[in-house]
């Protein structure tokens, strides 16, 4: 089979930890062909299918010069056996436009994973609203007064933008309310932007766990991203330390409740963020942590993913 990965520029990949790279490596190991493009390479013209300027590549196995480009050409997306949308956030207007192009490609016969409509329907911060029984107390609002009331009730809170990634733009405000007004103004831009506020979960000290769910089934290990020093964020991009550990009963309960529901909607791969038994986010765009879990536990996450992908394509 021939897989097309829609991703950020591959020259920027940190292959020692990149999940998309691990997918490519496992696909090639099984004899599948790999091509890549960026969202900016997608296009449509009346009377023609959605096409992309794609680069066919071969992985070399070298840690430095890790791929060889074998050809560059324009191809319709429906010519591939699967198109894997792996563009990192931000979930901005250009990302949404890309999903519309991919959805048109689906109408033309392409198999796109994760499903473009499902990507649009499940923004990563807001998707938890459907599963509120698993969440910590949470507020979504533009209203500064509502944020102040939430803080007055819960005393210790986390504020974050809806379009952030990697821990970007996250603030903690404790009972003293220090800088709350300034933080609200910074995040909601005088009421122009909606933000999320959550009660602080002290179990973050033991890690913000990434629970991967593939084809509706949880990977048996999570990656606990543990804040370092005085940092409140556990995100690896913010300096957190990743420690793989078996799923807890709470982790598995949440994953087994949510995973099959979202798999039915076309989300083959999701990443649940769980802190102290509370669901805080549902990642659907380009969930990560495959390599960290595999290296620390021996459980082959990329193999589980390609197994699920092959099974889906066989239906």
Catalytic residue among 111, 225, 251, 292: 225
Q: Which residues of 112-139 are buried (b: 16+ CB within 10 A; e: fewer)?
A: bbbbbbbbebbbbbbbbeebeebbbebb
- Torsion sign (Cα): 247, 16, 7, 56: negative
Structure token digits, residue 18? 């990149």
Q: Which of 209, 233, 235, 251 is catalytic?
A: 233
Pick the catalytic residue: 208, 251, 273, 292?
273
Contact between residue 190 and residue 146 where contact means Cβ atoms under 8 Å apart: no
Catalytic one of 106, 208, 281, 292: 281
| 225 is a catalytic site residue | yes
Burial class (CB in 10 A: 0-12, 13-18, 19+), 14: exposed
Is residue 210 part of the annotated active site? The answer reads yes
Residue 160 known to be catalytic: yes
Is 233 tagged catalytic? yes
Look up 125 and say whether it is catalytic: yes
**Cα 20 to Cα 151: distance, rounded to the nearest angstrom:** 39
* CA distance linking residue 238 with residue 164, whole number of Å: 12
* Nearest residue to 175 (alpha-carbon basis) of 138, 200, 139, 142: 200
* Catalytic-labelled residue, pool 111, 160, 199, 209: 160
User: Of the residues 25, 86, 115, 125, which is catalytic?
Assistant: 125
* Rounded (10°) CA dihedral 256, 161, 90, 115: 30
Determine how β-strand 208-214 pairs with β-strand 221-226: antiparallel
**86 in catalytic set:** no
Determine contact, residues 121/149, Cβ cutoff 8 Å. Answer: no
Catalytic one of 25, 188, 283, 292? 283
Catalytic hit among 111, 115, 199, 210: 210
- The number of beta carbons lying within 10 Å of the beta carbon of residue 190 is 9
Residues known to be catalytic: 125, 160, 210, 225, 233, 273, 281, 283
């Amino acid at each position: 089979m021939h897989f097309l990965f829609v991703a950020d520029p591959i020259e920027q990949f940190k292959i020692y930890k990149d999940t998309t790279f691990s997918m490519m490596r496992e696909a090639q190991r099984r004899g599948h062909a790999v091509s890549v493009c960026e969202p900016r390479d997608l296009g449509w013209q009346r009377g023609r299918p959605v096409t992309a300027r794609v680069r066919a590549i071969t992985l070399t196995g070298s840690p430095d010069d890790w791929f060889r480009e074998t050809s560059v050409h324009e191809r319709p997306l429906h010519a591939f056996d699967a198109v894997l949308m792996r563009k990192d956030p931000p979930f901005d207007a250009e990302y949404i436009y890309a999903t519309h192009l991919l959805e048109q490609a689906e109408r033309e016969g392409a198999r796109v994973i994760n499903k473009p409509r499902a990507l649009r329907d499940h923004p990563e911060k807001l998707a938890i609203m459907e599963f509120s029984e698993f969440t910590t107390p949470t507020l979504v609002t533009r209203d500064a007064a509502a944020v102040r009331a939430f803080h007055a009730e819960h005393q210790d809170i986390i504020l974050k933008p809806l379009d952030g990634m990697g821990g970007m733009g996250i603030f903690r405000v404790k009972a003293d309310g220090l800088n709350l007004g300034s933080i609200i103004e910074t995040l909601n831009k005088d009421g122009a932007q909606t933000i999320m506020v959550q009660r602080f979960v002290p179990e973050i000290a033991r890690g913000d766990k990434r629970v991967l769910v593939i084809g509706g089934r949880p990977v048996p290990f999570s990656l606990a991203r543990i804040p370092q020093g005085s940092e409140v964020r556990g995100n690896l991009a913010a300096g957190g330390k990743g420690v793989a550990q078996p799923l807890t009963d709470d982790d598995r309960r949440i994953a087994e409740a949510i995973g099959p529901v979202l798999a039915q909607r076309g989300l083959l791969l999701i990443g649940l963020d769980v802190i102290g038994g509370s669901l805080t986010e549902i990642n659907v765009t380009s969930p990560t942590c495959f390599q960290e879990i595999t290296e620390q536990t021996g459980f082959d996450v990329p193999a589980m993913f390609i197994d699920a992908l092959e099974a889906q394509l066989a239906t």
